[in-house]
Every structure is written in C-alpha cells, then in structure tokens.
Amino acid sequence: MNKPLMEPGFRDSVNRLFDHAVSFMSISPGLAEKIKVVNSTYIVRFGVKLRGDIHTFTGYRSVHSEHAEPVKGGIRFAMSVDQDEVEALASLMTYKCALVEVPFGGSKGGLRINPRDWEPDELERITRRFAYELIKRDLIHPSQNVPAPDMGTGEREMAWIADQYRRMATTDINARACVTGKPLPSGGIRGRTEATGRGVQYALLEFFRHDDDKKAAGLSGDLEGKRIIVQGLGNVGYHAAKFLSEEDGAKITGIIEYNGSLYWDDGIDIDAAKDWMTRHGSFRDFPGATFIEDGAPLLEADCDILIPAAMESAINLSNADRVKAPLIIEAANGPITAGADTILRAKGTVIIPDLYANAGGVTVSYFEWVKNLSHIRFGRMQRREEEAHHRMLIEELERSSGVTFSDKFKQRYISGADELTLVRSGLDDTMRGAYGQMREMWHDKRGKHSEFDLRTAGYVLAIDRVAGSYAALGL
Ligand code: NAD
C-alpha cells in the first residue's frame, strides 16, 4: 500500500516500537535483545499435484519466544507472506499474549498463496500438505505450537489442519487442541469466529467509559452516533463494524476494500454491504452507499474513529500526516508503521494499539484450547444447578413480598450461563483488565514524557512480563 521505500520493513518497525518502550524501562540491553529476537523460522517448500502439474508452495512457521509454551499464532494465506512478515507477526503475538495474560509464547505462520486462485478442494489439499510439513516437525502440536486463523484463513482451514493432525497422531487424546478457531463439530468454541471483532468492540466500549481518555482524543459521550471508517470487511473488520453499529449505535460511514470502497454519511448497513461483496466480489453498484474506485484516500477522511482491519503498513509515512481521525484502533496487526506512529503521536492522535486491540482472537483461542484439553464444554456442569438456585430465590422473593416479577426479568435472571455467555464474559473481563493496566501507566507517565502513549504502555507491560518469565527461569 504505497509504502515509501525509506520505511523499514514490518519486523524492523515492530522492533522500533519495542526499542521505544525499552527506553522507558530498566532492563539490561542483553535481556532486551534476547526478548526482541525471533528464536527460529522454519521455511518449507512443498509440491502438490494440481490441474495436471506440480505446483510448488512456500510456507513459514516462525517462533518468536518460547518463554511460555505452547507458542501461539495464526496461519495467514496471502501473497504478501514472507519471512519478514511472519517474524514481525510472531513478535507481536508474544507481546499480545503477555499483555492480556494468556499463557502462550508467540508464533506465526503463513503460506504464500492467493486463496482466491484455487478451488476449495484444491485449497484443502494444499492446506493438508502444508499442515503435514509443520506437524512432522512439531510446529503444530497441542503442547508446543498451536495455530489459529488469520488473514485468508478461517474455521474451514483450521478443521482441515485439526483433521490432518488427528490422522498423524492417532493416539493423542488431546489432538483437538493442536489448533484453535475450529468449527464447533471439530472441537471449536462458541464465539471464536467473532472474537477479534468482538474484542475491538469491547476495547472501544472500555475506552469510552473513561473521560480522561476521551478528552485526550478530543471526543465525548459514548459510541452512539460516532462516525467510523473501517478498512477491510473480512473476519475482524466485519464483526467489529457489525457489533458497533447494531449494538452500540455507531455509524459506519466508510468501508475500504482492496478493490473499491463505500462512503455514506448516515451509516452503511454492514450485513447488506457484506452480502453484496460476497455475491459480486466488489462493492460496485451497492445501492446503500456511494462507491469509490480508489478507496485508500478514505483512510484520510473526516471521522471520529478509524479502524484499520485489513493488513500491515496501511498508515505509513506517505499518508500519516493527512489522517484526520482523532482515535485509531488497530484491529489489524501493524497497520501503522513506526514512522507513521511518531507522526500521529506528535499530532495528538490517540492510538489503541494492535497488541491490545486485536487480542480478542487469541483470548478466545485460549478458552478453546482449555476446552479441548478438559474435554468438556464450558458451563455444562453448573448451568442447570445455577438456574435452580436462581429460581428458588425468585420464588421465595415473590412468595414473601407478594410482588410478581415480569416474565422477561425472570427469564433473564434465572437462566444459567451457557458457553457463549461465558466466553463473552471472559473476553470482556480480559479486554477491560488489560486496558485498565495500560491506561493507568499511560496517564501516570504521559505528563512527564510526551512520547509515552498507550502503545508504549502496552509494550512495557508485556516486556516486563516476558522478562519476569526469564528471571523465573534463572536466565
Ligand atoms: P480476512 O482475510 O478475513 O480479512 C481481511 C480483509 O481485508 C478482506 O476483506 C480483504 O479483502 C481486505 N483487504 C486486503 N487487502 C486490502 C487492502 N489493500 N485495502 C483494503 N482492504 C483489504 O482477515 P482477518 O482475519 O480479518 O485479519 C485482518 C487483520 O486482523 C490482519 O492484520 C490479521 O493479522 C489481524 N488479526 C486477525 C485475527 C483473527 O482472529 N482473524 C486476530 C488478530 C489479528
């Protein structure tokens, strides 16, 4: 995306943000370097016979840090995939997991492929073969390395990977925990597909609960009526936009896709736009908004909140100074380069950083992994017991007071928590908890250091926890 040549690559960009945070810490240069470096990157090249010929594919699995195991991180299918990209993404996974206190090290994988070029049965063969290459090297394993979906992959690919592992590890009773983001029949968990977008919603709701934070961005009130522009209407962008507009009253005024964008002042119907995109492959001629051929300049349009939810480096040295949004929430990984970050910080833009903002996915992946290891659905043992207690209380209150509660209230109060309710509760708690820690440090330090922002706080918290793990290991 128009990334100027003088900008460092993605991994260097992440490392610059890391170095910036370390400059506020008192850890030794040696330990900082050990935490920063990527431990290993495996490159596999394999052939698959398709359409009468052998096609060779290149895939990667990078492990950034094994201070906690298994290591965790998505598998991306995109033509942009290379060593630099997976290493940057693996590093971010380490910091993300540490920040939201999910007990995993950081990893990431990718296959250089355009999934749109292949039919589903061809993609299945390619995915299974890639999985085979990783499984035989323990780079997919319930206790060592657990992938998840990322750009270009979803629950379908995760089901193929889980099945491939099961075929190769026939006696592993925990086989289902080898990958997360699976569909329910393959051992998935309710709420995982929506989790990253849901986490973005919870992060924004939490931000808008704090007057000081809103003031820093020059915003007020709550999400009702806020004008939001989203880049990327994939898994993360779609769910975030849907929940924010349908549940919180925000207006999605712009949607940017790789092949054209939509703009509408009164807000775009997200499900209608998504449906149009799915059926026609583009937003062109969508009746509910104005279609713009070159959508990228929409990143610079007037709005209250910008949600880059597509890919890295979308906001870089070439456009950062024209970005008007006072609040940016990084739903994608690395959508703002380190150079752009400096420009935006100097302008006073508040950035809710990727390592926090999109942590909803790995948080619910953690719940799925725990579910797979415990072999039981969350809520199965206690739900009806909880209901019986609530019912007893309501009945006793009605009997002793003579008051009759409404059926709606009784139904809501009595019903015990099912898996989806528990997943959302755990996710909300995680997003609120991590934000609280970041904002406390941010407000504590930003008076003295104008360069100390929410991202720096997130990195400092994460690095400190990884350093703590190393200290506990005696390193
Ligand atoms: P996805 O493949 O479902 O969606 C990506 C969307 O971005 C697609 O609609 C695609 O067409 C669009 N896009 C691609 N290039 C674009 C461009 N140049 N301009 C505008 N739109 C473009 O991927 P996803 O899973 O939603 O992931 C998006 C981002 O979120 C990635 O950075 C990923 O690493 C990050 N992320 C994803 C998850 C997850 O659970 N899926 C978790 C954490 C972070």
DSSP letter for each residue of 432-463:
HHHHHHHHHHHHHHHTT-TT--HHHHHHHHHH
- Nearest Cα to Cα of residue 230 among 149, 292, 303, 124: 303
**The predicted structure's pLDDT at residue 176:** 98
C-beta of 363 in contact with ligand 1 (< 6 A): no
- How many Å lie between the centroid of ligand 1 and the Cα of residue 309? 6
* Separation of CA 222 and ligand 1 centre (Å): 26
- DSSP-derived letter for residue 117 is G
Closest atom of ligand 1 to 148 CA is 40
Q: Is any atom of ligand 1 closer than 6 Å to the C-beta of 150? A: yes
Angle at Cα 183 formed by Cα 198 and Cα 58, nearest 5°?
95
Largest CA-CA distance found in the chain, in angstroms, rounded: 79
Best of 230, 235, 283 to mutate for ligand 1, by most ligand atoms within 8 A of CB? 235
Cβ–ligand 1 distance for 257 under 6 Å, the answer yes
Q: Beta partners for 65? A: 106
Nearest-atom number in ligand 1 for the CA of 359 is 43
What is the tally of helices (H) and strands (E) in the chain? 16, 12
Burial tier of 288 (Cβ tally within 10 Å: 0-12, 13-18, 19+): middle
Residue with tokens 């997003």: 431
Is 164's C-beta closer than 6 angstroms to any atom of ligand 1? no
Whether 200 contacts 329, CB under 8 Å:
yes
Q: Which of 3, 36, 108, 214 is catalytic?
A: 108
pTM for the full model? Answer: 0.96
* Cβ atoms 3, 313 nearer than 8 A: yes
In the structure encoding, which two tokens stand for residue 10, read together?
Answer: 């993605």
306 touches 328 (CB < 8 A): yes
Catalogue the E-assigned strands of 353-437: none
8 A C-beta contact, residue 134 and residue 109: yes
* Whether residue 36 lies in the annotated active site: no
Cross-strand bridge partners of residue 41: 62
Look at residue 4 in the predicted model and tell me its pLDDT: 52
Domains and CATH numbers, the chain: 40-186 (3.40.50.10860), 195-360+431-454 (3.40.50.720), 383-416 (no CATH)
Q: How far does the centroid of ligand 1 lie from the alpha carbon of residue 384, in Å?
A: 39
- CB of 200 within 6 A of ligand 1: the answer is no
How far is Cα 133 from Cα 59, in angstroms, rounded to an integer? 9
d(CA 384, CA 111): 45
What is the rounded CA–CA span in Å between residue 142 and residue 370?
10
Among the residues of 261-382, which ranges form H helices?
270-280, 338-347, 354-357, 360-374
Closest ligand 1 atom to 149 CA: 41
Burial bucket for residue 107 (CB in 10 Å: 0-12, 13-18, 19+):
buried
Q: Is the CB of 467 under 6 A from ligand 1?
A: no
Burial of 14 (0-12, 13-18, 19+ CB in 10 A): buried
1 ligand 1 Cβ < 6 A: yes
The encoded tokens of residue 275 equal 């449906």
Query: What is the reported pLDDT for 95?
Result: 98
Contact call for residues 316 and 7 (beta carbons, < 8 A): yes
What's the pLDDT at 184?
98
In the reported structure, the alpha carbon of residue 79 is separated from the centroid of ligand 1 by a whole-number distance in angstroms of 13
Q: Which pLDDT belongs to residue 296?
A: 86
Looking at residue 295, its pLDDT comes to 84
pLDDT per residue of the chain (475 residues) written in tens, 0 to 9? 555 557 999 999 999 999 999 999 999 999 999 999 999 999 999 999 999 999 999 999 999 999 999 999 999 999 999 999 999 999 999 999 999 999 999 999 999 999 999 999 999 999 999 999 999 999 999 999 999 999 999 999 999 999 999 999 999 999 999 999 999 999 999 999 999 999 999 999 999 999 999 999 999 999 999 999 999 999 999 999 999 999 999 999 999 999 999 999 999 999 999 999 999 999 999 999 999 998 889 999 999 999 999 999 999 999 999 999 999 999 999 999 999 999 999 999 999 999 999 999 999 999 999 999 999 999 999 999 999 999 999 999 999 999 999 999 999 999 999 999 999 999 999 999 999 999 999 999 998 998 999 999 999 999 999 999 998 887 7
Full DSSP string of 52-85 = TEEEEEEEEEEEEE-SSSSEEEEEEEETT--HHH
Which one of 196, 278, 306, 367 would you pick to mutate in the ligand 1 pocket, going by the greatest count of ligand atoms within 8 A of its CB? 196
Comparing CA positions, the residue from 48, 174, 158, 68 lying closest to residue 109 is 158
Q: What is the DSSP letter of 8?
A: -
Whole-number Å distance, alpha carbon 205 to ligand 1 midpoint, is 22
Closest atom, ligand 1, to C-alpha of 277: 9
* 321 CB-side CA count, 13 A: 2
